[in-house]
């Protein structure tokens, strides 16, 4: 279970209606992978499992990936303004943000190895969140809520309709892996 109660995988459908056609499209450029056309159902199922396993983490981790690029947080990288070992609590108000994740599925057919890139587009409508920042890193997030929408694509092919989450609430604290997420 996650701190917020919602994993990224939980934002996705159990199956992807366009996975087989997306995989076929990715493999169509290489005649060496033509044998794979006979096994698109199996390959699509395995790709779905791999994507779901790779994206099985708390949605707050993905939100963190969006916050690290916020220009409003850049000052927290400056040791003159925020000395080493100082922990700041930054309160975020209403804002909308978008972040993408790019998982890759590796398909191996005998000696042939192909990487199939995917893009998870996530948009969040944040009502409020508190961030803990130390030494230019977001070390934790706490007491906040938002709504999240996610869509998985392979190239230009949308694998499902966008899915909007129920309200994501973090009642306590979520710690990011040390030293935290580096503010860019």
Structure tokens at 147: 């709504």
What pLDDT, on a 0 to 100 scale, did the predictor assign at position 80? 96
Residues 6+ apart with CB under 8 A from 27: 33, 34, 36, 37, 107, 114, 116
What pLDDT, on a 0 to 100 scale, did the predictor assign at position 31? 77
What pLDDT, on a 0 to 100 scale, did the predictor assign at position 3? 67
Residues 6+ apart with CB under 8 A from 85: 134, 135
What pLDDT, on a 0 to 100 scale, did the predictor assign at position 1? 40
CB atoms within 10 A of CB 17: 11
Place of tokens 């392979």: 154
What pLDDT, on a 0 to 100 scale, did the predictor assign at position 166? 78
Helices of type H across 28-122: 40-54, 59-67
In 2-136 the beta strands, taken as DSSP E runs, fall at 87-92, 95-101, 104-109, 112-117, 119-134
Domain ranges of the chain: 9-182
CB atoms within 10 A of CB 89: 10
Cβ atoms of residues 120 and 149 within 8 Å: no
Binned average pLDDT, 10 residues per bin, the chain of 184 residues: 75 91 86 78 91 92 92 95 96 94 89 91 94 97 90 95 85 91 97
């Amino acid at each position: 279970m996650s701190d917020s109660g919602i994993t990224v995988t939980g934002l996705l459908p159990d199956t992807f209606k366009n996975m087989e056609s997306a995989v076929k499209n990715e493999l169509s450029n290489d005649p060496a992978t033509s044998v794979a056309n006979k096994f698109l159902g199996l390959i699509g199922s395995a790709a779905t499992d791999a994507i779901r396993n790779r994206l099985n983490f708390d949605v707050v981790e993905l939100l963190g990936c969006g916050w690290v690029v916020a220009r409003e947080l850049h000052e927290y990288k400056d040791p003159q303004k925020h000395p080493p070992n100082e922990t700041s609590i930054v309160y975020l108000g209403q804002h909308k943000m978008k972040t993408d994740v790019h998982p890759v599925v590796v398909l191996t057919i005998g000696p042939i190895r192909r990487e199939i890139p995917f893009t998870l587009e996530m948009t969040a409508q944040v009502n409020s969140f508190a961030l803990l920042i130390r030494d230019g890193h977001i070390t934790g997030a706490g007491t906040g809520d938002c709504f999240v929408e996610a869509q998985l694509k392979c190239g230009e092919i949308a694998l499902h309709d966008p899915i909007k989450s129920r309200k994501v609430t973090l009642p306590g604290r979520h710690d990011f892996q040390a030293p935290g997420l580096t503010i860019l």
